[in-house]
């Protein structure tokens, strides 16, 4: 087996997707290892998870920096210090700075609780309910310099029921997020993903 990929996780909250990725590295599903967690909230639950995994963490809070530029520069330097092969945004509630994206081209992936390009940004589940769509879901994608605009790696659809609220839909989508993210990270760590422009192949070949 090829050398394990070094995976760096960015997270802001509970870290349930981070947990799924870490578990997949431990059980051998993913040919990688989580080498660090960067977090923008000092009280985030994901930091407790990382401590349990014996994985180092870096906490960088926006309020500690005078400018957004200084904050983004610190994030970039912290990310470089872990020498990652892959950066996974797992509930990271900030837009990545352009310098970070350019420093790690096609090496940053995110999961978004909607079927992109629909319902970008915050409260995607609420947007879906308010729009009256009948199908929602999640998207794993490479991170570009815009909002949720990078090439799509994989998507999973879930039904939207007549009595759904933002919370009930979010719970149904979350059940699919963990396995979808792990499948995408697995493919990345096998060097199975191929990018041409905005098209990513390697996970959705037609079954013979």
Residues 110/150, Cβ–Cβ less than 8 Å: yes
Residues 122/105, Cβ–Cβ less than 8 Å: no
pLDDT of residue 1: 56
Active-site residue, from 22, 112, 141, 178: 112
Which residues 6+ apart lie within 8 Å of 134 measured at CB? Answer: 159, 160
- Give the number of other Cβ atoms within 10 Å of residue 189's Cβ: 23
Catalytic annotation present for 112: yes
Nearest Cα neighbor of 48 from 63, 59, 62, 61 is 59
3-state secondary structure of 32: strand
pLDDT by residue (tens digit) across 145-199? 888 889 999 999 999 999 999 999 999 999 999 999 999 999 999 999 999 999 9
Q: Give the number of residues written for the chain.
A: 208
Which residues 6+ apart lie within 8 Å of 136 measured at CB? Answer: 113, 114, 115, 119, 125, 128, 157, 158, 159, 160, 169, 173
Does the structure show a pLDDT above 80 at 68? yes
- CATH fit for domain 5-201, picks 3.20.20.140, 3.40.50.200, 3.40.50.2000, 3.40.50.170: 3.40.50.170
* Domain edges within the chain: 5-201
Q: For 88-117, what is the mean pLDDT?
A: 95
Cα–Cα separations (whole angstroms), residue 165 to 37, 104, 171, 172: 32, 37, 10, 11
CA distance 6 to 168: 35
CA distance 10 to 57: 10
> pTM, whole model, 2 decimals?
0.95
pLDDT of residue 84: 98
């Amino acid at each position: 087996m090829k050398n394990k990929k070094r995976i760096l996780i960015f997270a802001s909250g509970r870290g349930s997707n981070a947990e799924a990725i870490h578990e997949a590295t431990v059980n051998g599903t993913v040919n990688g290892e989580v080498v660090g967690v960067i977090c923008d909230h000092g009280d985030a639950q994901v930091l407790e998870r990382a401590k349990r995994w014996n994985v180092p963490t870096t906490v960088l809070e926006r309020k500690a920096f005078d400018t957004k530029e200084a904050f983004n520069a610190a994030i970039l330097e912290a990310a470089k210090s872990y020498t990652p092969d892959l950066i996974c945004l797992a509930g990271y509630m900030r837009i990545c700075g352009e310098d970070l994206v350019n420093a790690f081209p096609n090496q940053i992936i995110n999961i978004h609780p909607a079927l992109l390009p629909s319902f970008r940004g915050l409260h995607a589940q609420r947007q879906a309910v308010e729009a009256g769509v009948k199908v929602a879901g999640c998207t794993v994608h490479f991170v570009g310099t815009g909002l949720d605009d990078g090439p799509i790696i994989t998507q999973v659809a879930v039904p939207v029921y007549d009595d759904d609220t933002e919370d009930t839909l979010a719970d149904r989508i979350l059940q699919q997020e963990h396995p979808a993210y792990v499948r995408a990270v697995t493919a990345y760590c096998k060097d199975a993903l191929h990018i041409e422009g905005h098209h990513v192949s390697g996970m959705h070949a037609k079954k013979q």
